[in-house]
Structure 1
Amino acid sequence: MKIMVGGTFSPLHAGHKKLISRSFELAGPDGTVIIGLSSPTFAGRKTHPVLSYEERRAALEKYVRSLGTTTRWEVEELNDRYGSALDADFDILVVSEETLPVALEINKLRRAKGKRMVEIHQIACVLAEDNRWISSTRIIRGEIDEAGHLMR
């Protein structure tokens, strides 16, 4: 299986790790995972501060290596919300509840281009201790840490 997943991943938190881990599970040991990582320009449109591309890529690569997987993988720079997903040949797009609308749009645009629609695998967002979603914004505000623990 060839899987695509993407994000800004700044900072890399428990929700992102679930998304990435699930991508590798779906790909299997003989599959491939393409991880789209927002470019500095695209990530710069966020409303909160974002780590540099190099820092985000290093954290992402460190996490993937920690999985100990034999699955092939690569990081692809995303300059927009679609990356290569509109034209690439792949099987599954892994998204969160928050990014499901983008996945649906990708399939709509693929269909308009005469491309095969891909399966969308949605994971549930990870909840922090207060039962609200873990998000980069909440981490940057100092409400929670990367694991979803409330900051005291």
Structure 2
Amino acid sequence: MRFKTVAVGGTFDYLHRGHRTLLEKAFECGEKVIIGVTTDHFLSKLGKLVHNSYEERVKKLREYLLTKYPSERFEIQPLDDYFGPEIFHEEVEALVASTETARRVEMANRRRVEMGLKPLEVVVVDMVLAEDGRPISSSRIRMGVIDAEGRVRRNE
């Protein structure tokens, strides 16, 4: 493990293979992982639709994590903006992000420096591709194009 504490964030609407890959990388490089889960309120402000409520998404995420990691290794926090309060804590050393969200880290680091904190290191995880070569995403699962493993759903 390279870092004492890392942060990772997401909506985690359908806990798919891409999410699991991102989380595995976070636990691989951090002793403790702070996971920010986007709140329903923030999603509503962004005009985004989800299938599961915040409470249901957190419940499913916690259940999954407990099958792989002891509860002392992670903390789940609400994410009410793009960064969440956890990345402005001094103990957070790195942010684990997908190629899609890594660009936001520069903004977060500017804010951290203004607050007198060290900039975060960034661990970038490539988007996981479905069997059709496009990224696995909750929106594609919601539309019925692919399943949570990235398999294309065939019309029967």
TM > 0.5 fold call: yes
Structure 1, unaligned runs of 5 or more: none
Residues in 2 aligned to 1:118 and 1:55: alpha-carbon distance in whole angstroms: 30
1:20 maps to what in 2?
23
What is the match of residue 38 of structure 1? 38
- TM-score if structure 1 supplies the norm length? 0.91
Alpha-carbon offset, residue 16 of structure 1: 0.7
**1:3 matches 2:6:** yes
- Which letter does structure 2 place at the counterpart of 1:2? T
For 2:105 and 2:149, how far apart are their aligned partners in 1? 26
Letter in 2 for 1:149: R
SS in structure 2 of the partner of residue 19 of structure 1: helix
Aligned positions, number: 149
Q: Indicate the residue corresponding to 1:75 in structure 2.
A: 76
Structure 2 stretches of 5 or more lacking a match? none
Q: Is contact 2:51-2:142 (8 Å) kept?
A: no
Give the match for residue 110 of structure 1.
Answer: 112
C-alpha separation in 2, matches of 1:70 and 1:82: 23
Contact 2:34 2:86 in 1 (8 A): no
Partners of 2:50 and 2:14 in 1: how far apart? Answer: 10
1:92-111 matched pairs, under 5 angstroms: 92-111=94-113
Task: Tell me the TM-score normalized by structure 2.
Answer: 0.89
Distance of 2:7 and 2:75 partners within structure 1: 10
- Give the corresponding residue for 1:53: 54
Alpha-carbon spacing, 1:85–1:69, altered in 2? closer, same or farther (3 Å): closer
Aligned-residue offset at 1:71: 5.4
**Structure 1 runs (4+) greater than 3 angstroms displaced:** 68-71
Structure 1 CA distance, aligned partners of 2:23 and 2:87? 20
Residue 88 of structure 2 is matched in structure 1 by 87
Letter in 1 for 2:43: A
- Aligned-CA RMSD value: 1.5
**CA distance, structure 1, for counterparts of residue 48 and residue 80 of structure 2:** 17
Residue aligned with 2:48, SS? coil
1:26–1:46 distance in 2 versus 1, CA, 3 Å = farther
Residue 136 of structure 2: SS of its match in structure 1? Answer: coil
